[in-house]
A and B are shown apart, each in its own frame.
Chain A
Amino acid sequence: AQSVAQPEDQVNVAEGNPLTVKCTYSVSGNPYLFWYVQYPNRGLQFLLKYITGDNLVKGSYGFEAEFNKSQTSFHLKKPSALVSDSALYFCAVRDGTGTASKLTFGTGTRLQVTL
């Protein structure tokens, strides 16, 4: 069975500093990895995905993620955080089998960016 771990419930960072939100995964076969963001009282919004190819994936709003197969990690990063980045972030994984496009989500990490 596939699984995702987000080891930090909350990450605090000052505006202008780099941020990292951690994600590790477990899946049989090739991993297909996603990051989503949720703002208060909203649904999840897609940020970026890794399917294959370059280990550094660029996404929306200046976010990027680094895929590391040996460490089974897919950490979300941004060089310079903004207060408006404060939200709940979810990592998700889909394995390469089946056709139902089912995702398994992590428990989420709350990012708090302060002035």
Chain B
Amino acid sequence: DAGITQSPRHKVTETGTPVTLRCHQTENHRYMYWYRQDPGHGLRLIHYSYGVKDTDKGEVSDGYSVSRSKTEDFLLTLESATSSQTSVYFCAISPGPLLAKNIQYFGAGTRLSVL
């Protein structure tokens, strides 16, 4: 999966608890993304980063925050998990905005269950 490691791969947590998912890349790509995958919705963008400490919201950002203190790590935090955040979360990376390099590469995913 293109030098991308997501951790943990599986997590079960309780409503109201904070949860942090980690994405680590070894490709030195500038762009990193967090998506969630739900049946009937495909993949939806939560947040993305276009450089260290540079992040922006995606289409489903409510209830999520992100941080990127190093090029290789992009963290997704659920401040207070809710059952609606039960999903499979994917991290993706991309080398840059140039169209020829515009391919996103995906990690293996984290399956999160909020009880």
Find out whether the CB atom of B104 lies under 8 angstroms from the CB atom of A46: yes
Minimum C-beta distance from B58 to chain A (A): 7
Minimum C-beta distance from B111 to chain A (A): 9
Find out whether the CB atom of A100 lies under 8 angstroms from the CB atom of B97: yes
Q: Which of B1, B35, B50, B108 contacts A100 (CB 8 A)?
A: B50
Given contacts A41-B109, A44-B92, 10 further A-B contacts (CB under 8 A): A43-B108, A44-B43, A51-B100, A94-B102, A100-B31, A102-B58, A103-B104, A104-B45, A105-B35, A108-B42
B residues bordering A, Cβ < 8 Å?
A: 1, 4, 31, 33, 35, 40-45, 48, 50, 56, 58, 90, 92, 94, 96-97, 99-100, 102-109
A63 at the interface (CB under 8 A from B): no
Main secondary structure of the interface of A (DSSP, over half): loop
A-B contact pairs, 23 of them (CB 8 A): A34-B103, A42-B1, A43-B106, A43-B109, A44-B92, A44-B104, A46-B104, A46-B105, A49-B103, A51-B100, A98-B97, A99-B97, A100-B56, A100-B97, A101-B31, A101-B94, A102-B45, A102-B48, A102-B58, A103-B45, A104-B45, A106-B42, A108-B42
- Closest A-chain residue to B59, C-beta based? A104
Which 8 pairs of residues, A with B, have the shortest CB-CB distance? A43-B106, A99-B97, A107-B42, A105-B43, A105-B42, A44-B106, A43-B108, A51-B99
Find out whether the CB atom of B90 lies under 8 angstroms from the CB atom of A49: no
In the complex, what residues of A have CB within 8 A of residue B56's CB? 100
A residues bordering B, Cβ < 8 Å?
A: 6, 32, 34, 36, 41-46, 49, 51, 90, 94, 98-108
